[in-house]
Each structure stands twice: as structure tokens, then as C-alpha cells.
Structure 1
């Protein structure tokens, strides 16, 4: 179950890749070492830079499953960045649809206070174009998960919670208080 907006964006971006990423850990690591140095990548993998070099040369006998999963996550995060940007721009230019499917609890902040909704809602909504643009821009600059959730909550608030209200009554702010599942399609 995916609970990260950033990872959900990466998975949705994978549908727009023109080439498949490498599948073997050694080739994945070689790709990552082209984009960042071993000294930067090694602490993230809890390994020494020399170990990364050995793994990149093919000796992955002591590579743990957690390290392999992190390498796979980094490949999904960094693979074909230019192609992703072009796909995002095409989606936004031609009024493409960014659909968010989520299972979450929400909180609302109004002028009279903050309210927590205890219901676990299962929603599938198309994000307004403005919020989709903000979400893509934040992802391109590697924004933190909290900022991505705020942008997503604003989009869901406008698309679902406030769609029937006149603009002068849309004073509440929606936040995602508990995210159980997120999946994006575009």
C-alpha cells in the first residue's frame, strides 16, 4: 500500500517512460552513481563508498533487501527526468486529467476552528489544473512530502468538498490527517 504522494507520482510517471529502467541491482547502482557521487549515496544505503563501487562492478552478494529496495526507489525517482517533465507539460497544456485515488481521513480548518473527520474516506477525484500544475512543480524541485500532501489536499478540497459551494463560502482549508493509500493516474 503506497502512502507517499511523491512515490505515487513516480509510479504514475513510469507509464510515460520511453525506455525501461535497468533491472539488475549492479546496473541500477551504476546509473545512480552517474547522477550522484558514492560519498553522497553511501550514507543513504548505510554502506561505504567502496562497497558501492564493488556492487556497481557486479559483486552484490552482501546487498540486503532493504538496500536493494532503496536502490529501486531511487531509480523510480530519477529515471528519465526530462521525459517526465515533457509528459507533465503535455498533460497540463492539453487539459489532461490528473486523477487521484485515495483512502484517507481529513481535517478542516474554518474561521470557527479546526474539525477532524473520523471517517476513512475512499475518494477518486480529478484534480483541478492549477493544483495539478502546483503538484508537478513541487515534485520537480523535490519538495518534501508535507508540501505535496498540502497541495493534494487543496486540490481534493476544491474538487470534492467545496465544488457545490459558492466561492464566498469556500473558506475552509482541507488537510489530509491520515493517508492510508494514494494512487495517481494521468
Structure 2
């Protein structure tokens, strides 16, 4: 299964972390309880009972099932080093931009007689800060995958296919059948 663009954005921000997340289930659970200000909130976030959270915190339970381990790690990563995450996002949105590396089907719409059939392409392209800001803002506001993909398609259309709008004016790009998608800051 291909990662969503939103997951790729999250992973890109995680690459800026200066320290590893807590490694043991007990340490992760303690961190999550502290961040969510209580065992009840942590239990709700993880979809388990409050008593189970308490058992992990006390060390009575040590090895969570694989699905719980994944949920616990995701919830901790979401909250880990918020200042570092914010700083990386600000840098990408103001000066650094981001790099999109993808293997997907790209098709074009243009004036009649000038369109190109869609085909799979491998593209690695730096996008300017304005697209980083649009992607992060849309992600924060709960945009769905299609909306995020449209922002990325607009950025790739401008920077890759239209060479920063110096050629192929009016060329529209369709971004579908994503096989691979990675984002780096």
C-alpha cells in the first residue's frame, strides 16, 4: 500500500527530530499520559481500556500487540518535540521548501491537439516554500488526500512541467495512480 501524502508530510517533519522517541512501551505510555493529561484520555486516543494504560505505566504489561504498538508509536510521534516540528515546518514554508519524489501517472490537459497521454513517470522535484506552506496548512485544517494531492500536482506542474512557468503556459497536470511518494524537507 502506498503512503498517503499526509503521512509523507508527517514523516518529513519527523526527520527533523533531534532525539529518538521513547523506546519501551512503558516510557511511550508515560509520555502519552503526560501529554494528554491523564490515563483516560490516553486510553481513548489508543482505543484501549484505562486499566490497560495503567498496567503499561506500572510495568505489569511490557510488550503490546503489534497493532497497539503501531498506534502507540504514532500517537507519541504526533506529539514528540513540537517546537522542533514547528521550526522545521516554518523553515520549509518560508525559505527551504520541500522535495517531492514520486512515481505516479501524470496526464495533461492543454489546448486541443497538444495534449499528451498519461504515463507513469519517476519525478523528484524541489517545490518552493509557498507549496510547502499550502500543504502543511491544508494538512492542519484536515484536508483529504485528494486535496493534498491537488496542491502537490499544482506544484509539480509549475516547477517540473512548466519550468517555473517559463514554458507550456496553460498546461494542466493530472496526478493519479501513485505508486511511491516521499517528501523531504
Task: Provide the C-alpha distance between the structure 2 equivalents of 1:29 and 1:143, rounded to a whole number of angstroms.
Answer: 29
Q: Per the alignment, do residues 24 and 81 of structure 1 end up closer, same or farther by CA in structure 2, a change over 3 Å counting?
A: same
Q: Per the alignment, do residues 15 and 49 of structure 1 end up closer, same or farther by CA in structure 2, a change over 3 Å counting?
A: same
Point out where structure 1 has 5 or more consecutive residues left out of the alignment.
none
8 A contact 1:3–1:179 mirrored in 2: no
Q: Per the alignment, do residues 167 and 56 of structure 1 end up closer, same or farther by CA in structure 2, a change over 3 Å counting?
A: farther
Count residues with an aligned counterpart.
182
Task: Provide the C-alpha distance between the structure 1 equivalents of 2:46 and 2:117, rounded to a whole number of angstroms.
Answer: 38
Number of the residue aligned with 2:16: 16
TM-score by length of 2: 0.78
Task: Provide the C-alpha distance between the structure 2 equivalents of 1:175 and 1:74, rounded to a whole number of angstroms.
Answer: 33
Number of the residue aligned with 2:68: 67
1:111-144 deviation line (CA, Å, top 9, x unaligned):
88xx996532211001122111111223344544
Deviation at 1:171, TM superposition (A): 5.2
Q: Per the alignment, do residues 84 and 44 of structure 1 end up closer, same or farther by CA in structure 2, a change over 3 Å counting?
A: closer
Which structure would you say has the larger Rg? 2
Point out where structure 2 has 5 or more consecutive residues left out of the alignment.
none
TM-score by length of 1: 0.77
Task: Provide the C-alpha distance between the structure 2 equivalents of 1:30 and 1:146, rounded to a whole number of angstroms.
Answer: 36
Number of the residue aligned with 2:130: 130
Root mean square deviation of aligned Cα: 3.1
Q: What's the secondary structure of 2:119's corresponding residue?
A: coil
